[in-house]
Amino acid sequence: MKQDSFFSLRVFPVLFMAAITLVCITVVTGIHLATEERVRLNELVFQRMAVLDAAGIDYPEDDAEGVQDVYEQRVSSENGWYTVELEDGETGYVISVSGAGLWGEIELRLGFRENLEEMTGIAVVSHNETPGLGARIEEQWFTEQFRGKRGPFEAVPEGTAEQEDEIDGITGATSTTEAVKDIINRGIREAPSIVGED
């Protein structure tokens, strides 16, 4: 009966695992380096789309260059906020706000007309809310309901908002709806000082 050597039992498995690990690290590093620029550009386009969405400005879908063109024509970045030429030629502003959601931070872009009272829209930049429930804050029906309204807002049951200061809540996601409402209401209060109109 042949006995396995110390090398085959102890050293070879360690060397084999080290070689496999080195190959995997090399492949992952290569993929990261090859896609790093594209990931950065996609993130930039996503951020610019959020500003345009909050301002209520149309842009070409699935066309990164078109998004960049519209952004560069209509938006100027200030110190943490944006001045926007709205579709009707009026000046608008977009600010960034964030706050606690049910499962983590929710980051939003809020758009306003020049008077900083009437909203042009909102865009959800990031969140950790429950898929199918709180994550519905990203859905167009939810974000579009702020366009042309004035806050501070009150959340009402889904499908029942009729007043200018009411927003439809998300059925089954009351905590997330309340969190978004509170973040937006705080943003409305802070907007004049953020854009220096106060």
pLDDT over 80 at 12, yes or no: yes
Residue with more model confidence, 151 or 93: 93
The reply to whether 4 falls in a domain is no
pLDDT averaged over every residue in the chain:
90
The reply to whether 61 falls in a domain is yes
pLDDT over 90 at 9, yes or no: no
Convert the pLDDT of each residue in 14-33 to its tens digit.
889 999 999 999 999 999 88
Convert the pLDDT of each residue in 52-98 to its tens digit.
999 999 999 888 899 999 999 999 988 889 999 998 989 999 999 99
The reply to whether 8 falls in a domain is no
156 φ/ψ angles, rounded to the nearest 5 degrees: -125, 165
19 φ/ψ angles, rounded to the nearest 5 degrees: -65, -45
Domain hosting residue 76, numbered range: 52-194
Q: Are β-strands 81-85 and 119-126 bridged in parallel, bridged antiparallel, or unpaired? A: unpaired
Whether the CB-CB separation of 100 and 77 falls below 8 Å is answered with no
14: left (phi over 0), alpha (psi -120 to 50) or beta: alpha
The reply to whether 24 falls in a domain is no
**Residue 9: CB partners within 8 Å, gap ≥ 6?**
none
The reply to whether 5 falls in a domain is no
At 13, is the pLDDT very low, low, confident or very high (cuts 50, 70, 90)?
Answer: confident
The reply to whether 92 falls in a domain is yes
The reply to whether 182 falls in a domain is yes
pLDDT over 50 at 1, yes or no: no
CA distance 167 to 156: 6
Specify the DSSP element, H or E, that contains 39. helix 12-55
Counting the structural domains of the chain, the total is: 1
pLDDT over 80 at 115, yes or no: yes
The reply to whether 158 falls in a domain is yes
Q: Give the SS3 label for residue 65.
A: helix
CA distance 168 to 174: 11
pLDDT value of residue 146: 93
Q: What is the mean pLDDT of residues 140-166?
A: 91
